[in-house]
Chain A
Amino acid sequence: MHQSAFTRTLRTIAGWLVVGAFFFPIYFWTSVAFRDAKDIFNWPPIFFGFQPTVRNFEQVFGISLGFGFGSQETVTPGGGNFYMGPRLWDSIVVASFSTVLAIVVATLASYALSRMHFRGRHEFVNWVLSTRMMPPVAVAIPMFFIFKQFNLLDTYTGVILVHGLMNLPLAVLLLKSFFDDIPAEIDESALLDGASRWTIFRRIVLPMAKGGIAATAVLCFIFSWTEFLFVLTLTQTGLKTVPVVSSTFVTSIGTAWGNMAALGAAAIVPAFIVILLVQRHLVRGLTMGSLKQ
């Protein structure tokens, strides 16, 4: 279809505006991470041309650049200690293992729901969906008591379990839709050839659903990465994830915006890496089911 030069220019400008609207907050937040406190609240605001510094990163990760690891005892004049290196590790552990947990269980469950016809199957799917309707805050307090009873409070196992369970309904529903898109005739052909259900699942269906599993895993990872309430309620000093420790930059004498931005900017990286790793499958997964035969 022929487009006039004016239309093309307009489309390009619109495209750049949309990209800019999404990219600008990330740029600005990241640029705050590289500013001294006195350069953050300039009026009028400075978007470029400030004196960059890595001081915020040094404080947050205890790394004195070029001088090896610094000390956890680094204290700002207000007495704040913003050493958060281990907390980033906590986030990576929790998000990774809870994603694995959710995906393993959800893959098996959703395959069964997609292929096996048993009484109450639809009700079961509705029940799975309904657990997502419950506000997390309604569950957090009872969870606290249960976890305390089972010594799961303030442990990796506890938080991984709760994040895994939190993501399970969504993962089951998403994966079920992906499995539904794979023709059942393939399973039936394999059955006729003598393959067991497990073999069909492992050797045939699972490889075909790789894209969908990758897309679901990314969503589970991101939900765990950004989850706040459960970690706040179910942890004390043993571990904390990035969203919860980010709130500790709010001190009694103000907010350490530069440090908060440094942690936030650094926290984008692991999630970004996960997405890059599965990117090849992700596009396929996100478009799976968009065309019906």
Chain B
Amino acid sequence: MLRLPLYCFILLFATSSCGVQKFLPANEQLYRGADIELIKEGPIAASRTLKKQLKMAAKPSANKFALGKPYKVWWWYVLGKPKRPKGIGAFFKNKLGEPPVFASQINAKTSAKNLQKFLSNLGYFHSTVTSDTISKGTMTVAHYTVRLYPQYKIKNITWLNAGSDLVSLLQEKQQGGILKPGNGYRLSDIQAEKDRLDLYVKSRGYFYFSSAYIIAYADSTVGNNQVDIILSIEKNIPENATHAYSINRIVIFPNYTLLLPPPDTSKSGMTNVDALLIRDTVYKFRPALFKDAITYRPGKVYSSIDQNTTLNRLINLGVFKFAKNRYEQTIDTGGNPALNVFYYLTPAKRKSLQAAINGFSKEHSFLGTEASVNWRNRNAFNGAELLLIKAYGGIEMSFPDSFKHITNYRAGLEASISLPRFYIPFIHIKEYNLYPPHTRLLFGYELFRKQDFYSKNIYRLQYEFVWKQGSNKEHWLSPIALTYINAGKLTDTFRKETFYNPALLINVNSELILGSIYSFTYNTSNPFEKRQWYFKGSLDIAGNIAGLFTGANQPRQKMLAGVPFAQYIKADIDLRYKRKLQNNFDWINQLLIGVGIPYNNSNILPFTKQYVIGGAKTLRGFRWRKIGPGSYLPTLYDQRLFQLVGGDYKLQFNSEIRIPLFAKFSGTVFLDMGNVWTKDTILFGKAGRLKKDFYKEIAVASGVGLRFDAGLILIRADLGFPLCKPYLPEGQRWVIDKIEFGDRNWRQQNMVLNIALGYPF
């Protein structure tokens, strides 16, 4: 299985080595790329990255080479001229191949000039670049000799015409900004500083300001490889850009349509609500909605932050298909420059009916499909409340399993209402965040059938808040997350099994989970950063108050409304780190730590809350349900009859390097490790229990994968095999020495092919 793609690659290179030469036009050579020779004229550090940057800046870019062969050009010629310009032939030609870049296309002199400009934009003034083209065998290399002089540093930063309000504001903000004395000169820094200052003064009333009105001068003649930066305001700055504006009037048109636009100026038909003028002639929206959505009022100094926040909040209400604002220059009653603001909001249709059919893959190797119908009202009570009623039915199965009849069926009904604000009865929380918070109340019922075994009824009630703190921090709090599960319709097969293993009855225990959940998500906000972080932490507490009141201290001892309630504390950490490597390789890591502590009224976590391991997203060398907890190896019975083979604790670490291959295909090499453990021995005995030397029971797997990125979704096939099997006796767990790719038996027993949608992490 592994060999096939390998052979393909070897074949690909071997055939392409037959040569592109014969295809090339006479007197043409392929361009092999740029070659940069750096000669340092003085003490200069960090020349490696600079060299790489220069290489990339040298145009044109050469064709892609692998093992010294221009394989893409080869495909280009081999596939020939496609019959139809948009046919399948053209598709492959463009995906696999690329047109050759000839030596004749190189304009080394221009390129050298550009490189020199590039260097001076980085502050390496007086550096020179000379070019040469060298024929190397059948190809041509552009050789650039760079005489690099030290980078100029910023000596002083001064402002001209200090004194005016605008300049003082700019000057004050500039201190401690991007441009600092002592920093290297960089053109991009100057632009970035201008943009930063522009954003700042726009939040201080200067509505008509623009970064183009800041002029930067540089004097590189001050000596000692230093440069003075002189900043100033453009002399032809429009008059209106030099004033700070305050807000004079805010007018809202919540039913705006081009068919019959309301007049901007007329005040008739407007209601004044909290200093906002609202013209809603058909009373579609409660005025209080705008009180919350609009974060500023007349009299306040204009700020772009208010503008963006308000617009974002209006869009996020979800009831308007289009929202726009217009600012009009005017003079307020005191004769000062001011702005009139108009919000034109075009409502979306209130209701919608939606039918959906989906296919999915779950973390534990189940593939399934679901059909659903939902009805929604976007403005149920005239305050942008989203009422949603959803009915669904689905089926999911696990193909890699050798067992039949474990297919799951689901059918359910859900009703929820979601509000674009914090909604807590009797309490009004005023907030003006960029991202408006949401409150949701959900009721759900699901009928779940495990084929051949049992059915379950699940009732849910959830009351939750979501809010964002900045663009990259999200909070989710569900003070009430209530789940009631009862099972029934046990089949005779299942009943029979329970005689042999009474622990199976835990599967069908009725249970009430009275929980509260909180989670926090953080990620690196700048997607261009080399190092990216993602963190998600969650805390799930259930039954603590109920436990306190009832004084439960034995498993399933106390009941609420005739049902034993679950009592546990569960905390999860999901930490991910991505690093961009050379050649567009990505190195991605994930660390998962989950700790669930059932206590008093519970001895294990409810099944719905348990941690599982194995399969496409966790340990790709082990199938789901064929690993753990601890050193336990699930028996056929366990695998077949337990709803899931899971644990109360989880530790997992994954690492993979993603390698772009060709077209939309990429490859990966991965290493997975981890396991789950139980607190109690009730299900899997002592072997599954968390011990002090748990680290000896960490399963390790490795493998390679192939991914196809179809844009909207990614399909992957990861082929894994175990390196360390925790269920073997201690001392024999590491099986690296037993790997035999050539052995059919070994392959059948160890290789796991994981096919799934989306990246594993």
The reply to whether chain A is a binding partner of chain B is no
